Structure formats: structure tokens, C-alpha cells
Chain A
Amino acid sequence: MAEKGSRAKALAGGTDVLVQLRAKRYLIDRLVDIKKIPEMNELTCTEQAGLVLGAAVPCCLIYENQDVSRLYPGLIDSAFLIGGIQIQGRASIGGNLCNAAPSADAIPTLIALEATCNIVGPKGKRTIAVEDFCTGPGQNVLKDGELLVSIHLPPPKRNSGAHYLRFIPRNEMDIAVAGVGASVVLSNGKIESARLALASVAPTPVFATKAAATLVGKEANEEAVLEAAEEAKKAAKPISDMRGTIEQRIHLVGVLTKRALNKAIARAKGAE
């Protein structure tokens, strides 16, 4: 891959790259299938060490894994949303991240869950936070020859919960008009910490730190949630296009933040 530089691309599930090649989004000379590399297929999940998710593991193996389902229901929300059954048999979370679409349904969840990226390249290994990974629509920090090997999710904290949801005009098969991933840690009914990330409202997924900060130390109630939702709207810098207008998207960020937080709080309190 290093040899061909920007004219080479990795192929995980191919559900983005093959579609984009067909649409002539870019021209390349080499497509490297990474699905047979063992590290790319790792799926280890423990309460102590958290989750190591190989970059090429398809969504269906994630939501069929009992430990992942129990410990990271927020991640399952995303894995379940991406495509239909056929797509989920191929599509990987790693591919979703590397594709770096502003609308990617897994990235806000990964940010909310404090995930980090394990990267390997000609110059060795490095690790960066998911929120620092995307640099623009379809752009990421990977240098020529670098590959994402796996994603690491820290072990879930006690009394924590997460949720991702998006808005689409139909009930399936659509690109998010807006999406919100939220995670909260509760302690004695109060919010100890929270993370929020937004999809489809900026050139990259948005890590909405200010909005999350408004929650810290507050009672986990409607008022706190609404304040965070208002603040999250300010973090959104969307465009108008055929999928939605600026006003609609900002409005939806408010609605979805509220709904995502309510569900994350419910999960932290032990609901489903």
C-alpha cells in the first residue's frame, strides 16, 4: 500500500469503497483486501479490559456477540443501523470510521464511548482518540501506507449508559439527516460525566464537549437534558442539501440529543 500511496486503498467490507469506485468518486491502482489479516478480525470483550474490535469485523458479528451486546448496547445501536442484513454481513465499524463520512452512524457512538484507534504503518504504531481521527468529509489522519488495525473501547464504567439514534425520513435505508450519540455516567442520581457526538451536521462528526459539560454535576432530569440539547444545537454547523436544511438539522440535533440522553440515562439506571 505504501508503494502506491494515495492510489491505494484498503478493502474491508467494501460497502463504501466498492460503491465509491463504481461511482468514480476517485481513481486508484490498488485495492488491498485486509479481511484475512488476523489482527483485523480480533473481537475480544471483557469487563476488565474492554473491547478490542478488529477493524474489519463485520457488524453482524458484533451484535451477535453476547458480551458486546451486554456491555456496549450503544455500539449495538450503531451496528444495527448500518444498512440492512446483507450489508451488516460485510460492513465493518473500522470501515465506517475510515470512510469518515459526516453521516457515519458508528463514529458518534465511538466518540461517546471514548474509543481509541490503533494505527499501524511503515513508521510503526500509534494510537489516537476517535474524535481526532476524521479531518474532513472522507478524510482522516491516516498517512500513506497506514492502516487502522483495531478500535479499543475502555471498559464500561459503573452506572453508565449510552445510546445512538439518527433521524431519517424512512424507517430504514437512509443516510442520517442528523444523528446523536450520547453516553452518561451517573452517581447517586447525578450526572458524573457525559459525552455527546453529532452526525451529519458538520464536515466531520462533532464532539460536542460544551453541551456535555452542561450536564456534569446536575440531576439526571428533563431540565438538564433540555439544556444540553439546546447547547448541542449550537455545536451543529450543518449545510442545506437534498437531505435536509440547516434549520431542520439544527432543530433535529436538539430533538435527538434529548432522546439520546434520555435513553442513555435510562440504560445507566439499568433499563434494558
Chain B
Amino acid sequence: MTTTVERPTESQRRFKVIGTRPIRHDGLGKVTGADRYGADVQLPGMLHAKMLRSPHAHARIKKIDTSKAEALPGVKAVVTSRDLPIIDDKPIDLAETLGNPRVLAENALASSKVLYKGHAIAAVAATSPHIAEEAAELIEVEYEVLQPVLDVREAMKKDAPLIHEKLTTHEVQRRFTRGDDTGVISNVASHLQFKQGDVADGFSRADVVVEREFTTVPVHQGYIEPQASTAQWAPDGHLTIWTSSQGSFGIRDQTAAILGIPQSMVKVVPMEIGGGFGGKIGTYLDPVAALLSKKAGLPVKIVMTRKEVFEGTGPTSGSYMRCKIGARRDGTITAAEFYLAYGAGAFPGSPVGAGAMYGLAPYKIDNVLIDAYDVVLNNPKVAAYRAPGTPQAAFAVESTLDELAEKLGIEPMEFRLTNAVREGDRQVNGIPFGSVGCVEVEEAIKNHPHYRTPLNGANRGRGVAMGFWGNGGMQSSATINVNTDGTISLITGSVDIGGTRVAVAMQAAEVLGLAAEDVVPTVGDTNAVGWTGITGGSRTAFSTGIAAITAAEQIKRTMAERAALKWETQPEDIEFEDGVFVSKMNREDRLTFKEIAASMMATGGPITASASSNPRQVGVSFAATLVDVEVDRETGKVQILRATAFQDVGMAVHPSYVEGQMQGGTVQGIGWALNEEYFFTDDGTMANSSFLDYRMPTSLDLPAIDTEIIEVPNPGHPFGVRGVGEVSIVAPMAAVANAIHDAVGIRMTSLPMSPGEVLKALDEQQRAGK
């Protein structure tokens, strides 16, 4: 799969384990199919549940009659929102968006209004999935159908139908808060502004100004495993949930809040996960399965179909953007103005804040004005998707910049380097960047054989774009137990996505002078390990890594104490080199890790350590995509000929999995660029809710994707690690758009750049006589 040329990276010179490519601990289970995923759970007496979902995109629920469903033989329980303690007559407080349990509950089971087609209304548990399905269809719902609002610009109009009658616009100064209430009722949940310098003055000093409008539509994460959850609510009140999610503690906390029970009464057991990309952070099924289990007195499993995944779980936002950038003849950018309106779906909370913060991040611009709007629509509530909100913004910014470079007659990489951010330059919120690899990434592109090899042939073109992502920190916990055979067991709460078990295990191994294979990593349930944030936000190898390193350091200290006891010296007088404890007093006194482990019962008992992380210096990531395309002028089809992903990863712990992330993000970005889209009919139905017509790229649509790892260490991690999971999806859309322009001279400003759209643009070009 990987096409990277082996070469000594920085990490391979400094470390023994970091930078090598051991086989992942969970590899066998993955390739043989022995691993158990969400839908594989089987329990004695288990019932199967199906949801009833709204056929309308926007409607008031007048009446729900479940009696016919309840009467069907084999049906054991039916639930609606009336069974959720949190849903009462009080209106939803939409002022609080992040993790608002009332909103999560309303999204899991609609109470008074359905807000998108596919919005869950009721659920049935029965002795077989078929009976459950049949019974769900027997539930009678009376609707008052309302006009759906499907487009951000429509939704922002004064006379647009209101999705939430009481939603007022908030003025926000920072991310993740809803700021001051303006009291104005509309579909605009919030307005966020960033301002630096004086844009009017900046533009007046520009020789060339380019302004363009851009639109994108919702796209789905497209993880291969549909959501699946099994719940067992025991008579003593203990609730156990086996689920496919990106974070067991998050699911536990959300479920407990929705059900109004203490967190200690809920245990979440993580199953292996078939992809999430941000889409498996919020809960959909877990509280519903729990309620059904409580009513039926039996375990209940719910598994979504692909159609349900498309219609009922979060895609990412569609958007409308306007980007204006000005520069002087010498290539210095003088000002930028950026307007973004993102669709949030049914409830406030689009990732427009990240788009606003990060779209312009690769450039040092003194005069900036950014206005961002979070707009509710009759689409599924959006969920996080790999670098949430940023790919849309980068599409606008990097396309505008490419055009600006063209108009200035400056080579696009030169133009970017002239304006590249460095340590100490201010972000749009005024906070200066720490150590960053923006310049290093751009230099790497210029020096890469892909960039230096001329591209020949008609209708072929090359495009490049930069991407930035802030990465997450958050808290993690890890426990290490030393085994007498000299190996260690490592328990973390991080669900393994993309090889995080091995990446975290390697960091513990590095500290203790062990081989990666000497670590037995386990993903613990919520009762087995300390609180741990999601596997998401590019944070796991970084933050859970720090927890594992800290625990390993404690193990090392305890072992030094044991050795000190034996040599009748002080632990401070003991060094640890190459897996061996050596007394500084007498260099002949040596004990290996394995020897101390073997004797631990006699020297003081089991050696264990638990630690947690709460990192402050999260290393941010710059990345870029370089892509060659060929356009079929007669059909509008774009073929990707060659693609290279560049990324500052801080320190590549396991290069294969770093490359895998870079390639995966690039593939998803190419899919978003070319063909992926929610295709809504006028009534708000997603017409293409299957993988047949929701066109993700297949292996036949892609070349092997080259990766270029750049390592600018993150001072906030002992080994220099930065998050690597997300930023690779940011640049591809703009890179493809710029390549299409290079190939055939058209500027594509809407996603996806599907054959029909490219054909239209080519037609217009011909009519304009260019």
C-alpha cells in the first residue's frame, strides 16, 4: 500500500522504537476477521430493534400511535421521546451547543418536530429484526408537514421558514461558546468575527485583488461500519453498553445525561471500530437501546443500515463562502476578507468556527476580517468530519490564492512561501503560533521530484494547496502493569483507529527500553481505566501517548528504587541505558528490565503505574496536497494521475500508520473534490443514500498516493509528536480545483467538481470564447 521511499528520518536517528514499523498488535484479528465490531455482539435472549424515521424533512408531530406495533406478536418494547426523562415540556436551550444532552436526546428521538428526513421518532425491540422492522412500520404518526429549508443562503433570508421558532442569533467572540444573545429570531444560530488590522487600508495598498464565491454541499464521513449498539439494563440499575464509537467515556457521559442517571451506573464496552472520522463521537443509538432494554428486561441490539447512516447521522456542513485577498506586485498579501456561512443541520453547532480560524492560517496577513455564520437547516445534524470545517474554507482560500498568484504572475509555491507563517506570527484570533512547519512543508514541495518533473500532455494540469489544522489535546489515562516475564500490559481508554494501539505502545516501549512486541496493549472499558477523551481531533498518539510515557516513567522510577534497594544506594544514583539499570556508584551493578520484573514479587510486589495527561502545548499541523489531473474535455470527467501528500507530523511514531493517515485523508479529500455529495430533492429527501450513488472513490479511481513526511518536532511532546490524523483532508479539494484550472483553464468554485459541473464550466468557457 505504501509507496514511500525508505530513508533515515529524524526519528530513526534519535530513537530505538519510535520511527520503526512493527506489526500492529491487533493486526491478526483485523485481517482474519476475528475481531468483534459493534454489530457482532450476541447476548442470551437478545432482542433486535429498528427505528421508525421521519419521511418528512420538516414537520410537526401531531400524534404518535404505537398500539398496533405493540400488539404484533414478538414485539417486546416500543419507545418514543416520551420515554426519555430529559424531554419534557420545557423548550430546548439552544444557547448551549456543545454536548447539550437535551439536543442529543432530541436528535436521538424527536419529540414535537421532525427536523430532517430520517430523524428518528420511535424504536421497536422484537425477537427478530424482521418483526421489529414490520412493527416499526405499524407505528402511526400524524404530521403537519412544513416547508423544508435546505440551503444556507435561503435559510438566512428574513422570510425563511423557521426551523426552531425560538432560536436567536448569538454574537460569538471565541469558539465553543455561543456568546451574547442578540434576541433576533432567525435560522442563524451564531455569528462569529475575527478582526486584525484594517482591511480597507490593506486592500488600498494591494495591486491586485481577487474575490470569488464558493459553495459546497454536505458530504458524509463514509465509515465502512454502520453505527451499532447493544444495551443491557440489569434489574439492579446497572447499564452496560457495547458500542462502536470513537470514545467510550463520551458515549457513557452523553448516555447518562440523556437518561438522567449517574455516570457510575453506565459501563461502556468499546468494540473494534470500522472507521469514524468524527462521525462516531455523538450518540445516536445507545440511549434508545438502553430504554428498550429497560422496558423489555432483555438485552437489545440496534444496527443501522447504510441508508440510516446517510439519512440519520451527521454529514459535515455544506457552505457558502466569499473570499477576497489582495496582494502587492512583489507578492506580499496586504489584506483578506472571508465570509463563511455553514449549514449546521437540524441543531446549531456547525464547525464554521474552525473554518474561520484555520482557512487563512498558512499565511501571515496583517489585515484580516472574517465573518462566520452557523445556520440551521432541515438536514441531519452535522457531525465532526476529519479537520471539521476546515476543508471547505481551504477550498475557498487556496483557490483564491492560486488565482491571485496567476494574476500576479508569481509561481504559486513562491507566492505561498513569500507569505508563509513562522513561529511568533499571529493567528486570526491574535494568539501567536508556536513552533510550526509551514515553511518546511512548502520547501519540501518545491524540492520534491513530483513538483520538479514537468507534466506533459494535453488537458493535463498540476495543482497545489496548503492545509492547516489545530489538532486536539484533551485528557487521557493509561495504566501499565509489569509482567514477571519482563513484558508490560498497557491499558488505555483510546479506541483504536488507524493503529493507535501500536503507536501508543511504541512510546511506552521507547521509555522502558522494550521492543514494541513486549507491550500488550488493551483498550479498556469505562470501568477499567481512567477517563479518556475521544480518538479524534488527531489527539490519540499525542495525548494518550503522553499518558503512556508518564506511566512508563513512573515504572522506570519504581524499578530504579528496587535496584537501589538491592545495591544499597539511592534511586537518583541509578541510570537507565539501553534497557539496563546501572549504578553510577559501581558500574558493575547492572540489572536489566527483565531481571527486575522477574524478581518484583520478592522486591516489593507488583510494579504498576497509572498516569493521565492534560497537555497544554498541542502541536498544530501544516500539510499540502500536490496533484496532477487530466480532464476529458468531452465528458467533463477528471482523472487523478498523480498525488503526493506532504505533512509536518512532528515525529512519525510508526511511519506506516502516519502514511496511512496521510493517504486516507487525501483519498477522502479527492472524493469530496470530485463526486461525493448529498443530493437532495426539493422536499429534502437524500436521493442518493447508498454507496452506489454516493460516489466515494474506489481503488480504480486513484493512483497510489505518495507521502512526504516532514518532521518539525512539537516541543509540547517528549518525543516531538504532533497529531497526524486529520490535516491531510484539508488541501485536496483546492489542489484538484487548481489542477483543473491548470489543465483546461476553468475555475471551479463549487463542490463537487463532478463531470456534469466541469462540462458546464467548459461550455461557458467556450461560449465566452476563451
Contact across chains for A169 and B675 when beta carbons are under 8 A apart: yes
Are A255 and B634 CB-contacts (below 8 A) given A169-B754, A242-B693?
Answer: yes
CB < 8 Å neighbour of A172 from B634, B687, B698: B698
Beta-carbon contact of A242 and B688 below 8 Å:
yes
In the assembled complex, 25 residue pairs joining A and B whose CB atoms fall closer than 8 Å, in A order, are A167-B635, A167-B637, A167-B755, A169-B675, A169-B695, A169-B754, A170-B675, A170-B695, A170-B700, A171-B698, A171-B700, A171-B701, A173-B698, A174-B692, A174-B695, A175-B692, A177-B755, A242-B687, A243-B693, A244-B756, A248-B636, A248-B755, A251-B759, A255-B634, A255-B635
Q: Which residues of A contact B433 (CB under 8 A)?
A: none
Asked if A245 is at the interface of the complex by the 8 Å CB criterion, the answer is yes
Chain A residues closer than 8 Å to B143, beta-carbon distance: none
**B679 on interface, CB distance cutoff 8 Å:** yes
A243 to B400, CA, bound (A): 29
Whether the pair B675, A248 counts as a contact (CB closer than 8 A) is no
For residue B715, CB closer than 8 A to chain A, the reply is no
Q: Does B697 contact A (CB under 8 A)?
A: yes
A9 CA to B697 CA, complexed, in Å: 34
What B residues does A255 contact at CB under 8 A? 634-635
Verify if A252 is at the interface (C-beta below 8 Å from B): yes
**Cβ-neighbour of B679 out of A167, A170, A242, A251 (below 8 A):** A242
Within 8 A of B (CB), among A145-179: 167, 169-175, 177
The answer, yes or no, to whether A241 is at the interface (CB within 8 Å) is: yes
A173 adjacent to B692 (CB under 8 Å) = yes
Query: What are the 3 A-B residue pairs with the smallest beta carbon separation, nearest first?
Result: A242-B679, A171-B700, A242-B687
> What sequence of 0s and 1s flags, for each residue 669-692 of chain B, a beta carbon within 8 Å of any chain A beta carbon?
000001100010000000110001
Say which size band chain A's interface belongs to.
Answer: 10 to 19
Contact present for A170 and B698 (CB under 8 Å)? yes
Q: Given A241-B687, A248-B756, is A172 in contact with B635 using a C-beta cutoff of 8 Å?
A: no
CA distance A169 to B694 in the complex (A): 11
Q: Which of B721-770 contact A (CB under 8 A)?
A: 754-756, 759
* Chain B residues, Cβ within 8 Å of A172: 698, 700-701
B637: chain A residues at CB < 8 Å are 167, 169
Q: With A167-B635, A248-B756 given, name 20 new contacts (CB 8 A).
A: A167-B637, A169-B675, A169-B754, A169-B755, A170-B695, A170-B697, A170-B698, A170-B700, A170-B701, A172-B701, A174-B692, A175-B692, A177-B755, A242-B679, A242-B687, A243-B693, A248-B636, A248-B759, A251-B759, A252-B635
Q: Which residues of B contact A171 (CB under 8 A)?
A: 698, 700-701
* Cα distance, A255 to B762, chains bound together (Å): 15
Per-residue CB contact flags for chain B residues 646-677 toward chain A (1 = under 8 Å, else 0) read: 00000000000000000000000000001100
State the Cβ distance, B755 to closest chain A Cβ, in Å.
5
**CA of A252 to CA of B637 in the docked complex: distance in angstroms?**
11
Which of B688, B695, B701, B756 has the most chain A CB within a 10 Å cutoff? B756
Q: Which residue of A lies closest to B675 (CB)?
A: A169
Q: Tell me the complex Cα distance, A241–B688, Å.
A: 10
User: B693 contacts which chain A residues (CB < 8 A)?
Assistant: 175, 242-243
* Complex CA–CA separation, A82 to B641 (angstroms): 25
Check B698–A245 contact: CB distance below 8 A: no
Question: CB within 8 Å of A: which of B602-637?
Answer: 634-637
Residues of the B chain whose Cβ atoms lie less than 8 Å from the Cβ of A245: 756
Which residues on A are within 8 Å of B, measured CB to CB? 167, 169-175, 177, 241-245, 248, 251-252, 255
Of A167, A170, A175, A244, most B-chain CB atoms within 10 Å = A170
A64–B622 Cα distance when bound, in Å, is 50
* A-B pairs with beta carbons under 8 A, tally: 44
Look across to chain A and name the residue whose beta carbon is closest to the beta carbon of B638.
Answer: A169
**Distance in angstroms between the alpha carbons of A39 and B637 in the assembled complex:** 42
Collect the chain A residues with CB atoms within 8 Å of residue B634's CB: 255
Question: What is the CA–CA distance of A174 and B754 in the complex, to the nearest angstrom?
Answer: 14
Chain A, Cβ-Cβ closest to B634: A255
Complex contacts, A243 vs chain B, CB 8 Å: 693
Residues on the B chain within 8 Å of A252, using CB: 635
Closest Cβ of chain B to A103, distance in Å, is 11
CB distance from B14 to the nearest CB of A (A): 43
A155 to chain B, nearest CB (A): 34
Chain A: minimal CB distance from B751 (Å): 14
- Tell me, rounded to whole Å, the shortest Cβ–Cβ distance linking A239 to chain B: 13
CA distance A173 to B674 in the complex (A): 15
The docked-state distance in angstroms from the alpha carbon of A177 to that of B636 is: 13
Q: How far is the CB of B26 from chain A (nearest CB, A)?
A: 27
Which residues of chain A come closer than 8 Å to B701, judged between CB atoms? Answer: 170-172
CB distance from B245 to the nearest CB of A (A): 27
Contacts of A169 in B (CB 8 A): 637, 674-675, 695, 754-755
Smallest Cβ distance from B497 to chain A, in angstroms?
26
Give Cα A248 to B674, complex, Å: 17
Which residues of A are found within 8 Å of B697, using beta-carbon distances?
Answer: 170
Query: Contacts of B675 on A, CB cut-off 8 Å?
Result: 169-170
B766 to chain A, nearest CB (A): 12
A79 to B698 Cα, complex, angstroms:
20
A173 to B695, CA, bound (A): 9
Q: A10 CB to closest chain B CB, in angstroms?
A: 23
Q: Point out the residues of chain B lying under 8 angstroms from A244, CB to CB.
A: 756
CA distance A174 to B690 in the complex (A): 11
Q: Closest chain A residue to B686 by CB distance?
A: A242
Tell me how far the C-beta of B278 lies from the nearest C-beta in chain A, rounded to whole angstroms: 24
Cβ distance B693 to chain A, nearest Cβ, rounded Å: 6
> CA separation between A24 and B609, bound complex, in Å?
56
Write out the residue numbers on chain A whose beta carbons fall within 8 Å of the beta carbon of B698: 170-173
Task: List B residues 405-459 near A (Cβ within 8 Å).
Answer: none
Query: Could you tell me the distance in whole angstroms from the C-beta of A167 to the nearest C-beta in chain B?
Result: 6
Distance in Å: Cβ of B77 to nearest Cβ of chain A: 24
Nearest CB on B from A21, distance (A) = 13
Residues of chain B from 310 to 343 with CB closer than 8 A to chain A in the complex: none
| A256 nearest in chain B by CB position | B635
Tell me the minimal C-beta distance from A238 to chain B in angstroms.
Answer: 12
Residues of chain A lying within 8 A (CB to CB) of residue B695: 169-170, 174
Shortest distance between the CB of B136 and any CB in chain A (Å) = 13
Minimum C-beta distance from B564 to chain A (A): 64
Q: CA–CA, A248 to B695, complex, Å?
A: 18
Q: Report B687-722 CB contacts with A as 1/0, cut-off 8 Å.
A: 110001101011011000000000000000000000
Within the complex, the shortest CB–CB distance from A233 to chain B, in Å, comes to 13
Q: In the complex, which of the residues A175, A241, A244, A248 has the most CB atoms of chain B within 10 Å of its own CB atom?
A: A248
Contacts of A174 in B (CB 8 A): 692, 695
Contacts of A177 in B (CB 8 A): 755
Residues of B close to A242: CB separation below 8 A? 679, 687-688, 693
B residues within 8 A CB of A175? 692-693
Q: Which residues of A contact B636 (CB under 8 A)?
A: 248
Contacts of A248 in B (CB 8 A): 636, 755-756, 759
Alpha-carbon distance A243/B675, docked complex (angstroms): 11
Cα A245 to Cα B760 with chains together (Å):
11
- Give CA–CA (A180, B293) in the complex, Å: 55
> Please, which residue of chain B has its CB at the minimum distance from the CB of A22?
B305
CB neighbours of B756 from chain A (8 A)? 244-245, 248
CA distance A109 to B348 in the complex (A): 52
Q: How far is the CA of A122 from the CA of B37 in the complex (A)?
A: 51
Q: Which residue of B lies closest to A248 (CB)?
A: B756
Min Cβ gap B308→A in Å is 14
Q: What is the CA–CA distance of A169 and B632 in the complex, to the nearest angstrom?
A: 11
Compute how far the CA of A248 lies from the CA of B760 in the bound complex, rounded to whole angstroms: 8
